[in-house]
Structure 1
Amino acid sequence: MAGRGFRANIVLYGALLANVGIAIAKFVAAAITGSSSMLTEGVHSLVDSGNQLLLLYGQAKADRPPDAAHPFGYGRELYFWAFVVAILIFAVGAGVSIYEGWRHIASPEPLRDPTVNYAVLGIAMVLEGTSWAIAVREFNGTRGASGWWQSIRRSKDPAGFIVLFEDSAALVGLLVAGIGVWASHHYADPRIDGAASIAIGLILATVAVLLAREAKGLLIGESADKAIIAIVWRILEARPQVTAVNHVRTIHTAPDAVFVAISADFADDLPMGEAESLIEAMEAEMKAAVPELTSIYIRPEKQGDALVQPRPFNRANS
């Protein structure tokens, strides 16, 4: 898999810079005002910063070339670190937020001037909004005409949609924190600030579960997009020497690398030498049409030997 430069990782770098600055400001504001929701927001931003570092680390590890131990490369290591990120959001981000909120409700602290909190929340909104806008722009550039959720489910690159989820959760969390700070002072009840912290924790837990589900699917192996599979079928159907295809199976070995295994029935009168040349020609055509097909395996196999029902070609309609 080709290495990624700064431009390719602009979403992660943008989110990292924003979250580091926001985390420092939130912790300072929490120390000055004693706000529970501001403290949990600081933890939230700190966890997000760590997550971006883990994803950048995962991408660096995934970019290693194939070797004897990993002949298909290390691309799926990124999926492992994406799953780790989801666990961290759930265990650290959500866990600390809920605990801190419960502690603040059980032992309310005296209210202090919220001006610092409002200032930090405003700055955080601008920075998080900028990071979110970058993530949305980059994601829109890859999703085409598909809907948001459909594109997330189909995406094979977790870095983009993880930052999108994190920034969306961060913006909602900032809104909840702002309401919690305002309501605590308006009603002179610091327990409301603790309730806001618990609400932020529940938001993070929901995001973590969604991310874990998507990362799990990538980690255990997902097939290529239907459009890629359709191109492979068209190339096979265009060859008169191929009488039927038993199966076309694909799996992503990295966000931009696909392994495809094909079982096909060739014409009985096709000489072995011509069959080898035909397979080489089809592989070259497939790689030219779909650069993501980094590994192609075509196995000549009779229909009766296949484990699944073959798909014969109707040449008259092709």
Structure 2
Amino acid sequence: MSASGGTRAIVAALLANTGIAVTKFVAFLLTGSSSMLAESIHSVADSGNQGLLLLGGRRAKRAATPQHPFGYGRERYIYAFIVSIVLFTVGGLFALYEAYHKWSHPEGIESWQWVPVVVLVSAIVMETFSFRTAIQESNRVRGEQSWVRFVRRAKAPELPVVLLEDLGALVGLIFALFGVGMTLVTNDGRWDAAGTAMIGVLLVVIAVILAIETKSLLLGEGAEAHEVQAIEQAMTAGPEVERIIHMKTLYLGPEELMVAAKVAVTSFGSVEELARGINAVEARVRAAVPTARVIYLEPDVYVASGTERTESEPGETVGLSGG
């Protein structure tokens, strides 16, 4: 995923949610609607979340240090995980508490009855534009994947987070409009509480999904099957490598893949020739999978019986990595 695409989606969501939060809170002050309060807090949480994603993207660009030799790419995953926690606590649990409170002490909407309807309809329009931007940016990198697979397998967390947040915001607005509308029709504040509870449950579900997916990224995910296949083909495409003995991959960040492999090499006349061969293999891998930026190759000798020698014998060179 291009970082610029994710940034555009985040900025669009941030601008939309900031404006929506202000109008919702004004509507709550005028009407006392719990659905409006829940939606106000929801939009404030979303705005804060987008700020966290932007901060994470900025901090992830820091150069590697001796203490963090592989850089800070995974910091984007950490901030995405924090987003899920904020959405769960500030958004979901608050809405559920407010729903319980309003159900216990229901109140109708007695004044400014038209305000929440106008605000919610306007918010749906603004949120639709934000959601549309997230969809457009996601489609640039989604390819043939289904939306579910894209959210589950994306290595860059920003677009899936914004997509789920915007989707949750749109559905939440519909729930709020339902609760407010039924309250205005029946003058029964429990409908408002019901709409608030639906918003709370929705936010908790989305937060749990985000937490599960970002947890997997934090633990460390390897390359996708098609990337592994491309790497293997690139390694064995030339005369340097007879076969791959074993290989492991790990995403150090959304756009940086580490590849470590033990490979059976052909005979080389000198260490210099071996080093040039390893460099050629690395160049082919990077051309095939551009995110494979960190590559460690360990040359070895493959024995016909199916076992490999893991210790060097006198005169042999193993464990050499190209530049």
- Give 3-state SS (helix, strand or coil) of 2:187's partner: coil
CA offset digits 1:195-214 (Å, max 9, x no partner): 11011000000000110111
Higher deviation after alignment, 21-30 or 241-250: 241-250
Matched, 1:56 2:49: no
**1:8 shift after superposition:** 5.2
CA offset digits 1:242-265 (Å, max 9, x no partner): 222122211111111111111111
C-alpha distance in 1, partners of 2:308/2:76?
37
CA offset digits 1:150-180 (Å, max 9, x no partner): 1122211111010000000000000000010
CA offset digits 1:203-234 (Å, max 9, x no partner): 00000011011100111111122222222111
CA offset digits 1:9-40 (Å, max 9, x no partner): 11000000000010010011011011001100
2:42 aligned residue: 44
C-alpha distance in 2, partners of 1:53/1:268?
55
Q: TM-score, structure 1 length as denominator?
A: 0.91
1:240 aligned residue: 239
Q: In percent, how many aligned pairs have the same letter?
A: 39
Matched, 1:104 2:102: yes
C-alpha distance in 1, partners of 2:214/2:148?
15
**1:110 shift after superposition:** 3.8
C-alpha distance in 2, partners of 1:110/1:151?
43
C-alpha distance in 1, partners of 2:101/2:6?
42
What does residue range 13-162 of structure 1 map to in structure 2 within 5 Å?
13-113=11-111, 114-162=113-161
2:182 aligned residue: 183
Alpha-carbon spacing, 1:121–1:255, altered in 2? closer, same or farther (3 Å) = same
1:164 aligned residue: 163
8 Å CA contact 1:263, 1:301 repeated in 2? yes
CA offset digits 1:54-76 (Å, max 9, x no partner): 00000000011112111111000
CA offset digits 1:76-134 (Å, max 9, x no partner): 01100100100111111001000001000111224224200011001101110000000
Q: TM-score, structure 2 length as denominator?
A: 0.90
2:224 aligned residue: 225
**1:138 shift after superposition:** 0.5
**Number of residue equivalences:** 304
- Give 3-state SS (helix, strand or coil) of 1:9's partner: helix
Ranges in structure 2 where 5+ consecutive residues have no aligned partner: 311-323
C-alpha distance in 1, partners of 2:6/2:153?
19
Q: What is the RMSD computed on CA atoms of the aligned residues? A: 1.7
**1:268 shift after superposition:** 5.2
1:215 aligned residue: 214
C-alpha distance in 1, partners of 2:178/2:149?
32
Higher deviation after alignment, 280-289 or 92-101: 280-289
C-alpha distance in 2, partners of 1:265/1:54?
46
8 Å CA contact 1:59, 1:78 repeated in 2? yes
C-alpha distance in 1, partners of 2:256/2:249?
10
